[in-house]
A and B are shown apart, each in its own frame.
Chain A
Amino acid sequence: MPWVAWNNAGMAVARDTGGSRNMRRTSLYGKVQGRQGMKSRMLLLAVLVLVSGAAMAQEIKVGVILPFSGIGAEFGQQTERGINLYMKLNADRMKPYTFRLIKRDEKDASGASAKVVVQELLTQDKVDILLGWIYSPNAIATAAQVTAGKVPAIITNAGTAHITTLSPNYARVSFSMWHAGYAMGEAAATQLKAKTAVVGYSDFPPGKDSLNAFRTAFEASGGKVIDEIPMGGPAAVPDMTPFFQRAKEKQPDVLFVFVPAGDHATAVTRTYAALGMKEAGIKLIGPGDITQDNKLQAMGNAAVGLTTMHHYNADLDNAENQRFVAAWKQDYGADSVPDFMAVGGYDGMAAVVHVAHAQQGKITVEGAMSALKGWTFDSPRGPISIDPETRDIVMNEYLSEVVMQGGRLVQKSISRIDAVKDPCKVLKIGPCANIPK
C-alpha cells in the first residue's frame, strides 16, 4: 500500500522492516521533500525575476537575423560590423538604455532557416525589435511571422521592392532594387547616351526586380532592352562565360548586370574583361553590387570604367562618411573597407536606438512604426528618411565610375539624384501597389 507511506511517510518508515520496501518509501519521502524544495525555489526565482526585471527595465532585446555561415557569411560580417560601429561611435546617444543583440543565423537565401530563427527570436527570446535580413527570399518568407509576432522589424539589406508591402511591421533602411535600377535606366539613356541594352540578372526576386526597374526607366527614356539573360541562382557562382558571350554578340551599348554582391560580382568583372567586351565597346553598368567596396581592389584593372548607380560607396565625399570610414579602418584594419551592407547595419542600429528613445524604452509595435515613419538621419550615405506612406527609405542615388587613382581603384561620383523614393511604389507597379495601412 504505497499511499500509506505517501500519507504518513515518517511512521511508515519507522514501522517497516522489509529492506526493498523500505528503500522505496525512503525514495518516495525524498520526492515529497524535493517537491516542497522546488516550490520554494520557484518562489525565490519569481522574486528574483521581478527584482531583476525592475532593475533591467532599460534593456532592449534586439533580434539580429544575418547569415553568419555559408556563402553569405561575409555579408553578415559586414553588417554586424556596421551595427557594432554605430554602438561604439554613439555610446552617448544610446543612454540610458542597454541594447542586447541576440544574433541568429539566416544561413542562405532559401527562407527556411530564417523562418526558424525568427520564430525562435519571437517566442523564446521575446525580443523587442528585429533587425537584419540580407536575403530577399528570407524577408519575404518571414513577413507573416513578423506581422503575427507584433514586433517592429528593420530591414538592413533585402532589396526586393515589394517586401515592405508584405507586413505593416517592416521598415527598410537599406534600399529597394528599384532605387538604383530605375535611376540607372534613366541615366543610361540620358547621361551615358545608350540606345540599346542587354540585361543579365541572377534569377531570383531581386534580380527580376532590378531587370524590371531598369527596363521600365530605360525604355521610358527612349532606350531599348534587346535581350534579357537569367544567369543562374544566388546560391552558387555560375560560369558567366556563356551568358556574357551571348550578350557580346548582341552588341548593345551597355550591359546592365544585377548579381548579388560578393563573389558573383567578382566573376562578372573578370568574365567581362576576359571576353574583351570593353574593347568591343560595351559598357558594363549596374547597381553598386558589382563594385562592392570590399571586393573592388581585388578586381584590378578590369574594373576601370565600371559605371554604377548606388546609394553608397566608401569613397563618398561627406563628413559623416569620412568619420565612418576612418573609424572602420581603425577598428577592422587599414585594408578593410565598409560597403553598403555595413552602412545598412549602421543605419539600422540607428533606427533601433531612435525607436527606443521615442518610446522611453517600452517598445510597442504601433508606437515603433509611427516613430519610424518620417524618421530622418544623417547617414554616411547622406541624409536619409523613412517614407511615412511606404515605410521604405528615401535617399540620394549616386552615379559613379571606377577610376584608377594613385594605384588604387576609386569610385568617382559623376552626378547625384536627391531624395529618391522607391519608384516601384511611386509608380504603383505590380505588388508594390498594395501597401497595407
Chain B
Amino acid sequence: MINGVDVIGMLLGGLAAGMVLFIVSVGLSVTMGLMGFANLAHGSFAMLGGYVIVLSMHRLGLGFVSALLLGFVVVALVSIPVERLLYRRLYRAAELDQVLFTIGLVFALSAAVTLLIGPENQQLVLPQVLQGQLDIGITRYRTYSLLLIVVGTLIAILLWLAFERTLIGAQIRAAVDNRRMAASLGINVDRLFTITFALGSGMAALGGGLGAEFLGLDPQYALKYLVYFLIVVAVGGLGRVSGVFSAALILGLMDFVLKKYLPKGGTLFIYVLTILLLLWRPQGLFGRAAR
C-alpha cells in the first residue's frame, strides 16, 4: 500500500540524505579532481568544522547560522598552513604516498580530538524553528530536511557558477589541465591551489555541521564516513560539481528507499549499487572517459 503522501515523504527524506552527502563530499571532489590529490583526510576537515560549529554554539552561545559561517572560516584558514606546509610537498609524490600521509593525518586528528574534547558524540541542538515539521501544502515534513534540500541546491548552483563562469574558476580548470602552460600564462598556480584547498576544506566544515543531525559527530567521524565520501566522488566522477551533485542525490535517495522498504539488507545496498554503477561506467556517471 503505497500512497502519494508516503512517496513524497520518501523522496524528501532521500533528497535530504543525498544533500548531506553532497555538501560533505563536494570539497573532496574539488581536491581530488581539480588538484589530483588523493586526500583521504577530507573527512577530518569536516569533523573539525563540525566541532567548531557545535562547540561554538554550546560554549560561545552563537546562533546556528553564525556558527556555520565561523566553522567555514576557521577550517578554511586552518587548512591554508596545512596545505602550504604538508600537502604541498606531496603534490608530485606517488598516490600511495599521498594516501599514507592523509590517512596518517586522519588518525592523528582523531586522536587529538579524543584527547582534547573526549570520545563522546557531540550533540547539535538545532534552533527551535528548525525542529519539528513544516507544512508544504501537499504534506508536512521535517523542517530541517527541507532546509537541507534548499541549502544543498543553492550550494551546488553557486559552486557550479564559480567554476564555470568566473575567472578564478577558469584558472583552476586551466591549471589542472596543463599546469605548466597555465603558469607560463602568468597564473600563480601555487596560490590558486591554496585557495582551492581552503575552499574545499571550508565546504567540508559546512557539511560536518549541517550533516551532524544525521551523521552525528565524534572523533571517529572521518573514518566512519570515508567510504561514503569516496563512493560519491567515484560515482560522480572527479572534479565535477554537477557529477557529485547527481551522484550524491542518486546514492542518498536509493540508500534511503532501500533502507525503508528492505531494512533487512542494512548497509549492503549502497555498496552493491556502487559496484553496479562503476561496472557500467568506470569513469563515473559524469566523468570524462580515460584518454
- A residues apposed to B, CB below 8 Å: 69-71, 73-74, 203, 229-233, 236-239, 241-243, 245-246, 249, 262-263, 266-267, 270, 273-276, 279, 298, 300, 302
Contacts and interface: CB of A to CB of B under 8 A. Distances in A.
Interface stretch (B61-69, B150-158, B216-224): B216-224
Given A241-B13, A274-B142, A276-B132, A236 B224 contact: yes
A242 B13 contact: yes
Interface string B236-264: 00000000000000000000110111011
Contact of A243 (B114, B120, B131, B260): B260
B188 interface: no
Contacts of B224: 236
Contacts of A249: 6
B65 to A, nearest CB: 19
Contacts of B263: 229-231, 242-243, 246
Contacts of B216: 236-237, 263, 267
A88 B142 CA distance: 48
A246 B1 CA distance: 12
Contact of A73 (B120, B140, B264): B120
Given A243-B263, A246-B260, 13 more contacts: A71-B121, A71-B218, A230-B264, A231-B263, A232-B266, A233-B266, A242-B13, A246-B261, A267-B216, A274-B132, A276-B133, A279-B133, A298-B125
Interface in B80-120: 114, 118-120
B119 A239 contact: no
B121 A263 contact: yes
Contacts of B17: 239, 241-242
Contacts of A266: 121, 123
Contact of A242 (B114, B123, B140, B260): B260
A54 B17 CA distance: 65
Contact of B133 (A267, A274, A300, A302): A274
A72 to B, nearest CB: 9
Contacts of A246: 260-261, 263
Interface residues of B, number: 37
B119 A243 contact: no
B214 interface: yes
A114 B144 CA distance: 40
26 contacts: A71-B121, A73-B119, A230-B263, A232-B266, A233-B266, A236-B216, A238-B267, A239-B214, A239-B215, A241-B13, A241-B145, A241-B256, A242-B13, A242-B263, A243-B259, A243-B263, A245-B9, A266-B121, A266-B123, A273-B132, A274-B131, A274-B144, A275-B133, A276-B132, A276-B142, A298-B125
A242 B256 contact: yes
B278 interface: no
B10 interface: yes
Interface string B256-282: 110111011011000000000000000
A74 B267 contact: no
B266 A245 contact: no
B256 A298 contact: no
A389 to B, nearest CB: 36
For A231, A237, A243, the residue with the greatest tally of chain B CB atoms inside 10 Å of its CB is A237
For B16, B17, B145, B263, the residue with the greatest tally of chain A CB atoms inside 10 Å of its CB is B263
Interface string B182-214: 000000000000000000000000000000011
A70 B133 CA distance: 34
Contact of B119 (A74, A232, A270): A74
A225 B96 CA distance: 52
Which label, helix, strand, loop or mixed, suits the secondary structure of the A interface?
Answer: helix
Given A70-B220, A241-B17, A276 B140 contact: yes
Contacts of A71: 119, 121, 218, 220
A9 B275 CA distance: 75
A302 B142 CA distance: 14
A248 to B, nearest CB: 8
B119 A203 contact: no
Interface string B140-167: 1011110000000000000000000000
A236 to B, nearest CB: 5
A74 B128 CA distance: 28
Nearest to B260: A242
A274 B16 CA distance: 14
Contacts of A73: 118-120
A262 B218 CA distance: 13
A259 to B, nearest CB: 13
A69 B219 CA distance: 11
A241 B214 contact: yes
Contacts of A231: 263
Nearest to B133: A276
A110 B181 CA distance: 53
A276 B121 CA distance: 24
B206 to A, nearest CB: 18
A242 B267 CA distance: 12
A122 B144 CA distance: 51
A126 B15 CA distance: 56
B214 A74 contact: no
Contacts of B125: 298, 300
A95 B224 CA distance: 47
A273 B224 CA distance: 26
A33 to B, nearest CB: 47
B61 to A, nearest CB: 16
Contacts of B144: 274
For B10, B214, B257, the residue with the greatest tally of chain A CB atoms inside 10 Å of its CB is B214
A2 B88 CA distance: 61
Given A74-B120, A230-B266, A275 B256 contact: no
A3 B14 CA distance: 83
Contacts of A237: 121, 216
Interface in B13-70: 13, 16-17
Nearest to B218: A71
B266 A203 contact: yes
A203 B132 CA distance: 28
Contacts of B142: 241, 274-276
Contacts of B123: 266, 298
Nearest to A233: B266
Contacts of A262: 121
A246 to B, nearest CB: 5
A223 B145 CA distance: 34
B259 A242 contact: yes
A273 B131 contact: yes
A280 to B, nearest CB: 10
